């Protein structure tokens, strides 16, 4: 089906984009690192637990990523004085520089994308959104079905 094939091409480009490291000044980050850094910049004083929930990842996975960002001097952890078991995350000065570079880069990408879409009518864009929403429903069901099958396989052991 041409619709799904066309979607798959876009997905492959997005996957490739997310898989390659990106340079921000002198720092090189993967998109997953940048997404976490961006969230910390947007929600200063957030915690690893909050980030894990936001990104639907385990606390362990987010902790490992925070550790990498701390080693690069992009993020710092500060003990929450109201809850000594919790650490709040903020960006360092270097982290803010990279955050701002990324925001500018995203803005330029969005501008370019919008310029490509300028030739489409409002009705065409509404139709695209409707088609994408339907595909998203199907993809969500695929994920749920796969998780159900996976959990049954695990239960058999």
For the stretch 39-93, pLDDT in tens is 999 998 899 999 999 998 999 999 999 999 999 999 999 998 888 888 999 999 9
Q: Which two tokens stand for residue 70?
A: 């701390």
pLDDT higher than threshold 80 for residue 151: no
The pLDDT of residue 80 is: 86
Query: Helix 2-19 and helix 122-156: axis angle, to 10°?
Result: 70
Q: Which tops the pLDDT comparison, 100 or 147?
A: 100
Q: What Å distances lie between residue 124 and 8, 45, 56, 128, 146, CA to CA?
A: 20, 42, 33, 6, 33
- What's the CATH number for 23-119? 1.10.10.10
Q: Which tops the pLDDT comparison, 155 or 6?
A: 6
Q: Model's pTM, two decimal places? A: 0.79
Mean pLDDT of 24-47: 92
pLDDT in tens, 117-148: 999 999 999 999 999 999 999 989 998 888 87
Q: What are phi and psi of 135, to 5 degrees?
A: -60, -40
Rounded Cα distance between 139 and 133, Å, is 10
Mean pLDDT of 98-109: 94
78: which strand partners?
88
Mean pLDDT of 90-113: 95
């Amino acid at each position: 089906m041409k619709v799904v094939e066309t979607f798959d091409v876009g997905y492959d480009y997005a996957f490739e984009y997310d898989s390659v490291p990106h340079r921000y000044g002198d720092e090189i980050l993967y998109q997953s690192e940048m997404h976490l850094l961006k969230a910390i910049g947007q929600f200063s004083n957030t915690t690893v637990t909050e980030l894990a929930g936001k990104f639907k990842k385990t606390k362990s996975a987010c902790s490992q990523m925070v550790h990498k960002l701390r080693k690069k001097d992009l993020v710092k952890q500060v003990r929450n004085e109201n809850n000594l078991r919790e650490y709040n995350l903020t960006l360092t000065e270097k982290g803010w520089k990279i955050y701002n570079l990324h925001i500018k880069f995203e803005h330029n990408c969005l501008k370019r994308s919008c310029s490509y879409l300028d030739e489409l009518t409002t009705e065409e864009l509404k139709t695209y959104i409707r088609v994408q929403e339907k595909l998203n429903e199907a993809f969500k069901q695929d994920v749920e079905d796969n998780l159900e099958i996976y959990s049954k396989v695990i239960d058999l052991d």
